[in-house]
Each structure stands twice: as structure tokens, then as C-alpha cells.
Chains A and B, each alone.
Chain A
Amino acid sequence: MRTVSLAEREQTLSQAADRIAAKKHPGRILLAVAAACVVTWGALSMWFNPALDHETIYKYLTAESIRAGVMNTIVLAVISMVLGTVGGFIVAVMRLSSNPVLRAIGFSYVALVRSIPLLVLILFTGNLALFWSRVDIVNPFNGDIWHSWDMNDLVTPFIASILALSFNEAAYMGEIIRSGLRSVDQGQREAATALGLGPWHTMRKVILPQAMRVILPPTGSQFVTMIKMTSLVSVIAGGDLLTASQNIAATNLRTLELLVIASAWYLLVTGIATVGQTLLERRLERGQRKVSV
């Protein structure tokens, strides 16, 4: 094998006998034109629909409450993702533990959370005050109440949103991290153990760095999904982008316009996140080539 420049390749081929003709794909052009027509027609008929008031879209697209909603959506997604990943790591370690009790707890958590729809989970955390109206810190000896909070002050809709999203994410990240940890060859753990390294050093220096190659790509797409899932917290007025746009729609009755505005922002934010994820994956792939074999 020899690496050649494009010019060299042309040179060689131009002198070769029986050159192979480039293959023609007439069907592809036809398909592309047809698809472009359908998409353009759909977009135009929506955009120039008389039901859609362009003035309203321009007016509210960058309104202060919308911008605050976008910010909240990002903050909500990032915090929930971080908490969910930490929780997921704990769940993964429990599920891989040699302790059968920890294994059972980890398994039950994942099974439970994954079978309750996120929307239902959000309604639960949003209505926590119906379960426990107050949170008290009580002196266990004489029953004096040291401090007491109203649950509605403690768990605001924003906090409730973070709770629900993190608990949900921890279950899914738990499975992702578990498969990542399992992907590392058993011999790696044995080699570290044989050197006298303890479980913490073994995990942090040997297992986790190698598991990252498996964990990171799906975590990126989990984050993109998370950005979209934050919209569900609008049912408890979580203060996110959809909440903000629906609040406006509730006063001016321009439902459609504000959904278009929300979609535009979601498109932008998830678009940026997706580009970031693609870059990350490409970087990992490059590192992988260096590491593998």
C-alpha cells in the first residue's frame, strides 16, 4: 500500500487501460427534486397560512419572558443532566455490585422509574405538597420543632421540575453507564488489583476513563432529548420555554404563533447541542483509533 495525492491518482488512472466509467444515478436526482418540492410546498403553505400572524411572531420571538424561558430550559436541562448522571453512576455501581441487596435496589429503581411516564413523575413532584404539606426538623428527644418549611416554598415548580427530570434521567443514565463499565475488559480490573490499587483508584484511573468511550456518545443524545423533555414541565408551570410561550398565548390567544416561536428556539438550542455532540463523538473516534488494538 502507498499513500498518493489526488493528482497522482488522476495521473495513474489517465494512463491506465480500460478505465472504469463513473456510475450514473439518475434516480437520485429525481428523488431529490421531488423531496424538495414536497418540503417547500409544506413550509410555504404553513408560513403563508392566513391563520398565522407574522407580526405576533416577530413581536414575541425575542420577548423578555421568552428569553428567560429559553434560559430556564437550558439551566433545567443542564442541572438535571448533571444530577441525573451522578445518580446514574450510583445506580450503575449498585447494579454491578457484588452485594445482592444493592443490586436489587438498583434494579428496582431503574424498573420503577422507567415504567412511570415522565409526565406522571412531573405531576407527582409538582404536587408534593399534597403528600406532605410541611417539612419539619424535629428534636427526636422532646418533639420540639426546630424548623418548619411550607412544602410549596421548599419545592417550587422549578425545583419540582429538576427533581422529576433528574430522577428520570438517573434511571436511563444508569443503564448507559452500566453498559459502559461492563464494556471494559475484566483483565483491566485484575491488572489494577494485582498492582495493589484499591477499588476507588481502579475505578477512577483505569475503568472509568476506558468506559467513557462507550458512555459519552449516548449521553450526548440523552442531553439533546433532555432539552426537549423539559417542555413537559410546562404542566406544572416549571418556568421553561414552553411555559413562557403558553403564558403569552393564554393572554393573546395566539396559540399557533407562540408554538412556532417555541419550536424555533428548541430547534436552535438542540441544533447547537447536536453539533457539540457530533464534534465530541468525532474527537472520541480519533482517540479510539490511537487506543484500540
Chain B
Amino acid sequence: MSTHPDALLKVDSVHKFYGDHHVLRGVSLEVQEQTVSCLLGPSGSGKSTLLRCINHLETLDAGRITMGGETIAYEARDGLMHERPRRAVDRQRQDIGMVFQHFNLFPHFTVLENITLAPNLLKRHSKAKSRQLAESLLEKVGLADKRDAYPSSLSGGQKQRVAIARALAMEPRVMLFDEPTSALDPELVGEVLKVMKDLAAGGMTMIVVTHEMAFAREVADVVVVMDSGVILESGTPDGVFTDPEHERTRDFLRHVR
């Protein structure tokens, strides 16, 4: 992988253990601004854990992750990485949007309230402005008519589109997608992928953990293949899909196809 000095997000030699499980074994990765990176790999390979480390839903055991030059959730002092105070980490998280496999919409709020909750509580804009922004985001994901509905009345695809709008409402610099279509009925996958494609076309920096090979091939700028806690290889979709370096990659691609 070529090293650009201007990478927006850098993951540098990250290690993560769950007890005696070495889930991330020195993972390094660079994500350029306005690109889409797709993380592929068999389940248990550590791709979701890596994603969750980026916005500090998981702590690190070694290594560092930086965004725009600032280390996320930690600061170097006396040769060690010290966790930042919760308040500082929360501020950093505001710049990192996340979309979950199971949507995790707030069931006691309407669609519009789901989207405006964080911007209002964190006083991003005036209430009127964040409402306006929420409505334009709903327009963008094609759910303007559902603004007053509760999540329980939506289909899985609609829920996930609301979840994307909710994350976008904080105007993040990067969006993380953790298997966004894995919990959907097959006929609903397309509408979510379309929203994601539009988002990519609009220049959003995205990191996507997915099993949708067609999406990765079509939309990704970089495809990263992980296996048992390490990055096997990464490159353009064409390179990785048509001429994989590793036998393991070839194996994996054969199985998912």
C-alpha cells in the first residue's frame, strides 16, 4: 500500500486481545479522504473489532489510531498511550459516524427525533436548523414521509436508512458501516446499498465491513482482506478480486461467491 502523507485515518500496529484470544495482531491501515474502503474476510477475522476500535467502542491493547493527525481516544505520554477523558473521547466520536448491523434505532423516539437527538443534545445547531438538516437527510435516504413514524413500524431496510441519516446528522468526517445489510431480508439489501453508493458518490469517506462482494467490487476504492487478526492483502477491487496474492484470499473469495 502506498503511503500518502494526507491519509485521513491511520491505523498503526493495533493489537487487541479478548482474554487469551489475539483478535487484532498488529493491524495497520490507511484511509484516504473521500474514499471507500471495504473490509472483507471470514467471520472472526477481526474486521468488526477493528471498526469498533476506530470509534473506541473497544479499547486497544497496543498501537494507535489517528484521524487528521489526532490520536483517537489516547494520548502519548511518558512512552505509553494513556486513555483520554471520556468527554474528550466523546468529542472525537462526534466526527465518526457509525452504522450497526442491527440498526440500534431508539425505539421510543420517532424517526425525526432519532436523527435530531444527538445534534440537539450536543447543541450542534439551533433546534430549527437541526430539524431542517434532519429533514433534508430523510429526503436523501428517501424516507421523508416517515419522519413522524416510530421505528417499529418500519421495515429493516427503512430502519437502516434512518440509522444512516442519524449518523450523518452529526456531519461526521468518516462513516463506519458494520455489516449494514447482514440483518436484512434479501429484497431489502438493495435500497440500503443504493443509499451507501449515493453517499460514496457524494465524497463521504467510508469504511465498510461487508459480505456484499458486488458492492465492494463496484463502489470500493480499496478492498482490505482480513483473516485471523491480520490484513492478508489490500488493493483495488480489480486487483484483489481478479488476481489475489494469497492462497487464503483466493480461498475466501471462492467461498463467498
Contact = CB atoms under 8 A, between A and B. Distances in A.
Interface stretch (A6-14, A57-65, A107-115, A193-201): A193-201
Interface string A108-147: 0000000000000000000000000000000000000000
B94 A195 contact: yes
B152 A292 contact: yes
Contacts of B98: 191, 194
B128 interface: no
Among A185, A191, A197, A292, which residue has the most Cβ atoms of chain B within 10 A?
A191
A283 B92 CA distance: 40
Contacts of A198: 86-87, 90
Nearest to B57: A190
Q: Classify the secondary structure of B's interface with A.
A: mixed
Interface in B153-186: 163, 166-167, 170
Contacts of B118: 192, 195-197
B215 interface: no
Contacts of B93: 193-196
B104 A188 contact: yes
Contacts of A195: 93-94, 117-118, 166-167, 170
A198 B88 CA distance: 10
B106 A206 contact: yes
B107 A291 contact: yes
Contacts of A187: 100, 102, 104
Contacts of B86: 198-199
A238 to B, nearest CB: 40
Interface residues of B, number: 29
A187 B55 CA distance: 15
Contact of A190 (B87, B104, B163): B104
B241 interface: no
Given A190-B100, A191-B100, A290-B150, A197 B122 contact: yes
Contact of B170 (A196, A199, A206, A291): A196
Contacts of A188: 104, 106
Interface in A254-293: 290-293
A196 B94 contact: yes
Interface string B55-87: 101000000000000000000000000000011
B129 interface: no
Interface string A89-117: 00000000000000000000000000000
A291 B90 contact: no
Given A191-B100, A205-B117, A196 B122 contact: yes
Contacts of A290: 150, 152
A25 to B, nearest CB: 39
A192 B122 CA distance: 12
Interface string A162-195: 0000000000000000000000010110111111
Interface in A194-236: 194-199, 201, 205-206, 209-210
Interface in B131-166: 150, 152, 163, 166
B40 interface: no
B220 interface: no
B61 to A, nearest CB: 17
A190 B57 CA distance: 7
A191 B87 CA distance: 16
Given A194-B57, A290-B152, A291-B150, A209 B108 contact: yes
B91 A196 contact: yes
A201 B118 CA distance: 9
Contacts of A292: 107, 152
Contacts of B163: 191
A72 B118 CA distance: 45
A191 B114 CA distance: 11
Nearest to A212: B108
Interface of B: 55, 57, 86-87, 90-94, 96-98, 100, 102, 104-108, 117-118, 121-122, 150, 152, 163, 166-167, 170
25 contacts: A185-B104, A187-B100, A187-B102, A188-B104, A190-B57, A190-B104, A191-B100, A191-B106, A192-B106, A192-B118, A193-B57, A193-B90, A194-B57, A194-B93, A194-B167, A195-B94, A195-B166, A195-B170, A196-B118, A199-B86, A209-B108, A290-B150, A290-B152, A291-B152, A292-B152
A-B complex: 8 closest residue pairs judged by Cβ atoms: A196-B94, A191-B104, A195-B118, A187-B104, A194-B98, A196-B93, A293-B152, A291-B107
